[in-house]
Structure 1
Amino acid sequence: MKKIISCLITLLAVWSQTLLAADLLEIYCEAVKCDPKFNGAYAELLANRENLPINRSALLPRLDIHGDAERQRVRIDGINFTNFQSTGIFIPIADTNTFYNNHVFYSLKLTQPVFNYKNWSKVQQAKATVKQAEAAFCASAQDLMVRVVRAYFDVMIADANLFYTRENKKAVAEQLRQSKETFRVGVIPITNVYEAQARFDLVIAQEVTERYELAARIEILRTITNHLYCNLKGLSGFLPLVTPQPANITDWVCISEKQNYQLLAAHFATLAAQQNIKIQAGDQLPVVNTFGQFIYSYDSNIQGSGVLLRQQIAQGGVELDWAPIQGGGIIARTNQAQYQYQQACIEQERIRRLVTSQARNSFLGIYAYIAKVNADRALISSSQLSLKATMESYKVGTRTILDVLNQQTQLYNAQKTFIRDRYEYIYQTVLLKQASGTLSVGDIQQINCWLYSTIDIKKYDALLEGCLMPETH
């Protein structure tokens, strides 16, 4: 009964650990919410989208309303000279006059642009800027997928390296123990013990390096999601090695030149720079507006005369604003815009070369890693057979302990390489789809289907666990 309960507890622990293990899709969803770079790109997109209505408003009717209402108190102090009793003597007498006046004024002016080439060009530039921002955001979304996949795979690779180094350490420790016992009975010389001890120390140093490498990779993943993951899912034993379709590298280059979002953003940036030339040159053209205006004014006591004045004026017409000569500033700004356009064209060409190079390298990388994975699998099998044969030869004295240690190291290195190359094959596929602009969440879901085994990141030792301790606030 106790054995049954113990088995049930063990199964429950494994099952709960599997449920708690985070997979690639879960981490990606967390990154969408928490990654500062991606969220900053989204905020930038929303800000750039407002450029279009801002610039379009300059071509739409504008209503200006002005008005004021005030009460005026006017006091006039003066001196009058009076002929005193008709004697011909004029005496100054102070004269003060105070009066009030209520004044009301307001005007309404409706203006409609008829011809404004500069503002019209700004609208066209804003359209290109919005498209550039949308393409840049899509590129940022794909970049987030690539960064999440890279960070996730780096943790998996570092975990596998540490795991097989630990296994190698166990094997070397066993060989060291056997060498010491065999040396005590006088069967082997002391050099065998020294060789085993040196190899053991080497593996210990390698373990320390890989332990901190794993901690560093986990920190990189945490910078994206702002979350610490203690359990992750690794690749299952089954991984389909599929070649790219279409199988022609030129087709992928053509697709990348048409659909890559970084290249599209650079293209729209070039169009925006081209419109900027028209904007600067538009300063030498006249601006024509039509307007209609209504003015109302009211005064209740003008200059204290008691006269009430009310005016209503309605007027309309055409306004012309033209400054064809501005001290050479128009020519200078236009030349500057032309140079900026040339710079944008050069930048677009630079990005095009980078994108096509990434497409070619990723395409070739997929084929290379397919071949490497198959070769790694064969190398593991041959290394296992070679290690077994070497150990048998060592027992009969035809091989040394160094030969055994070398074969063990070769086997574990082959297993590390096999794990790494499988992840790198998937990563090259992701890079190819990013270059072609076809990378999507569906690809993340597909990769996620290949993840099955649960990996406990904090299983190693207290030192690594301390490095991975979540921060307290």
Structure 2
Amino acid sequence: MIETHNKKTIRRSRWLASLALGALVLPVAAQAETLQGALAKAYENNPTLTAARAGQRANDENVPIQKSGGLPSLGASADYEENLVLPGNNFVSPMRSLTLGGRLSVPIYQGGAVRNGIRAAKYRVEAGQADLRATEASIFSQVVGAYMDVIRDQAIVQLNQNNVAVLRTNLQATSDRFEIGDLTRTDVAQSEARLALAEGDLRRAEANLIASRESYVRLVGEAPSDLQAPPPLPNLPTTPEDAVAIALNNNPDIESANQLVNANRADIGVARAGRLPKLSATVGGGYVNNLNSISSQNVAAVNTTTSAAAGVSVTLPIFQGGRPAAQVRQAQSRTSQAIENYVAVERDVIAQTRGAYAAWQANERVIAATQQAVNANALSLEGVRAENSVGTRSILDILNAEQEYLNTQVQLVSARRNSYVAAFSVLAAMGKAEARDLGIEGGPLYDPDVNYHRVQGQIWDWSDDPAPRQQATDTRNIPAATADVPPSTPLPRQ
């Protein structure tokens, strides 16, 4: 008889455990949002990312700006003059005149300023493209965190709702037993206190869920709806050494810091050009028409004149008060700063990669341990309830067992969220958390090289772009988030 009862207890305990963790395994509706879909929406509409793209397009323009310093310049002028009063003894001054002029200037040698300026601008374009990759990975990391926060907080709200329902049933049963004299007023008070605390925990969990949903809206641009379990993350490293090796080769922050070192070195050449000779050639011409305002009876009258000139100009700086040397030393110091910044960035990337890997592995172990604790607490709760029915356990023992069971369930939900986010952080540190790595769908990926190649050779002064317009979506019309929980949403099982 005792053996049969134990088997039933074990079966019921396993059923309770599977029921309480149903949020982790139940299927979702076909129209539910996926993590890939959320990332695609953020990729298209997140204002931080669209602003970074616009900033990079502005950065691209530094290349044609620097190139313009080595290209010819052509200008024209037109002047009209009306003489209101002429000297009495001046018989050849015109009453009015129209003067037209033109000038072509061709820089021949600028001391290397143009060449080095172009090099520096190109290096900064490459650094900006790496920064854009880093921004993309950062936004994706935030979206993954917000996505997982919503799933976690929904599960925690569900767990707390279930706990409140159980405690209400317990309180009703305790009150009924008190009425027949089977329990004391103390048992009822303990049940009431534990229910009040559970309701407070539920309100707190609902507030956290609302905050997570609002953060999701801020990042994605849409309200979360029936979020599906995220897919397993690809290409996770097997050791921290592997993760660091990949990060040192692919992390966009390291790439950006390296390109900035190169750009600052090119700036030294720009500064040194300030004390070198400059050579340019000029061609000009003019045309003056007095509009027949000088009488033709005057033998000296000339109503139209033309002129043309060509020349070469050499500028040789001799003394500039130490300004060029100061600019060179300044550029050298900034290069030293960029080199040290590169080392600092490399250190940060190594630390971030190792830290994220350790957090991921630790949470994987926490998941395994907490899963065992959930199963054990489910059995313990069932046993305490059975023992209470024969008088060997108190109501307080049941309440404590229920609380321990709830706590381990919440810990398991949180550990699964933390593990997934930490694993994604490892990919981000490795430079493998960008749209090209994650298979983002919905349209062609943004390629900053397209705009760079479009503008780098532009020399026409009137080739403007269309008027700026908003790219990111507004969220002002999205209703405020609520704590309503949809049908169970699964968490990942890494």
| Residue of structure 2 equivalent to 1:43 | 54
Aligned residue-pair number: 416
| Residue of structure 1 equivalent to 2:114 | 119
Q: Which is greater in Rg?
A: 1
Instruction: Quote the Cα distance in structure 2 between the aligned partners of 1:409 and 1:97.
Output: 110
Q: Does 1:77 align with 2:88?
A: yes
Instruction: Quote the Cα distance in structure 2 between the aligned partners of 1:25 and 1:244.
Output: 17
Instruction: Give the aligned residue type for 1:328.
Output: G
| Residue of structure 2 equivalent to 1:388 | 382
8 A Cα contact 1:121 1:276, kept in partner: yes
What is the deviation of 1:366? 2.5
* Residue range with higher mean Cα deviation, 157-166 or 303-312: 303-312
1:346-425 to 2 correspondence within 5 Å?
346-425=340-419
| Residue of structure 2 equivalent to 1:279 | 270
Q: Does 1:219 align with 2:184?
A: no
8 A Cα contact 2:99 2:286, kept in partner: no
Instruction: Give the aligned residue type for 2:200.
Output: A
Q: Does 1:27 align with 2:22?
A: no
TM-score, normalized by length of structure 1? 0.79
* Residue range with higher mean Cα deviation, 265-274 or 151-160: 265-274
Instruction: Quote the Cα distance in structure 2 between the aligned partners of 1:318 and 1:48.
Output: 34
| Residue of structure 1 equivalent to 2:337 | 343
| Residue of structure 2 equivalent to 1:468 | none
| Residue of structure 2 equivalent to 1:66 | 77
What is the deviation of 1:172? 1.4
8 A Cα contact 1:355 1:435, kept in partner: yes
| Residue of structure 1 equivalent to 2:457 | none
Instruction: Quote the Cα distance in structure 1 between the aligned partners of 2:73 and 2:93.
Output: 43
The alignment's C-alpha RMSD in Å is 3.0
Q: Percent identity?
A: 22
| Residue of structure 2 equivalent to 1:187 | 182
8 A Cα contact 2:105 2:283, kept in partner: yes
Q: Does 1:176 align with 2:171?
A: yes
Instruction: Give the aligned residue type for 1:192.
Output: D
What is the deviation of 1:51? 0.5
The partner residue of 1:439 within 426, 430, 433 is: 433
* Residue range with higher mean Cα deviation, 272-281 or 101-110: 101-110
What is the deviation of 1:22? 2.6
What is the deviation of 1:137? 0.8
SS in 2 for 1:235: coil
Instruction: Quote the Cα distance in structure 1 between the aligned partners of 2:42 and 2:337.
Output: 34
Deviations, residues 206-246 of structure 1 (Å, cap 9, x unaligned): 111111111111111122233333x222328xx7698933x
What is the deviation of 1:153? 0.9
What is the deviation of 1:434? 0.8
The partner residue of 1:248 within 239, 254, 269 is: 239
8 A Cα contact 1:243 1:366, kept in partner: no
| Residue of structure 1 equivalent to 2:63 | 52
What is the deviation of 1:50? 0.5
SS in 1 for 2:77: strand
Mark the CA change 1:310 to 1:116 in structure 2 (over 3 Å): closer, same or farther: farther
Instruction: Quote the Cα distance in structure 2 between the aligned partners of 1:187 and 1:259.
Output: 70
Question: Where does the alignment leave 5 or more consecutive residues of structure 2 unmatched?
Answer: 1-27, 442-480, 486-494
Mark the CA change 1:243 to 1:387 in structure 2 (over 3 Å): closer, same or farther: farther
What is the deviation of 1:371? 2.0
The partner residue of 2:100 within 91, 100, 105 is: 105
Instruction: Give the aligned residue type for 1:21.
Output: A
1:258-277 to 2 correspondence within 5 Å?
258-277=249-268
8 A Cα contact 2:257 2:338, kept in partner: yes
TM-score, normalized by length of structure 2? 0.76
What is the deviation of 1:188? 2.2
SS in 2 for 1:59: coil
| Residue of structure 2 equivalent to 1:14 | none
Instruction: Give the aligned residue type for 1:334.
Output: V
Instruction: Quote the Cα distance in structure 2 between the aligned partners of 1:53 and 1:398.
Output: 86
Instruction: Give the aligned residue type for 1:40.
Output: A
Deviations, residues 370-420 of structure 1 (Å, cap 9, x unaligned): 222222222222111111111111111222222211221222222222222
Instruction: Quote the Cα distance in structure 2 between the aligned partners of 1:317 and 1:124.
Output: 30
The partner residue of 2:484 within 460, 463, 467 is: 460
8 A Cα contact 1:165 1:203, kept in partner: yes
Instruction: Quote the Cα distance in structure 2 between the aligned partners of 1:403 and 1:446.
Output: 51
What is the deviation of 1:102? 4.3
Mark the CA change 1:218 to 1:305 in structure 2 (over 3 Å): closer, same or farther: farther
Mark the CA change 1:268 to 1:336 in structure 2 (over 3 Å): closer, same or farther: same
8 A Cα contact 2:191 2:399, kept in partner: yes
SS in 2 for 1:293: strand
Q: Which has the higher helix share?
A: 1
Q: Which has the higher strand share?
A: 1
The partner residue of 1:166 within 161, 166, 177 is: 161
8 A Cα contact 2:247 2:349, kept in partner: yes
8 A Cα contact 1:60 1:113, kept in partner: no
SS in 1 for 2:433: coil
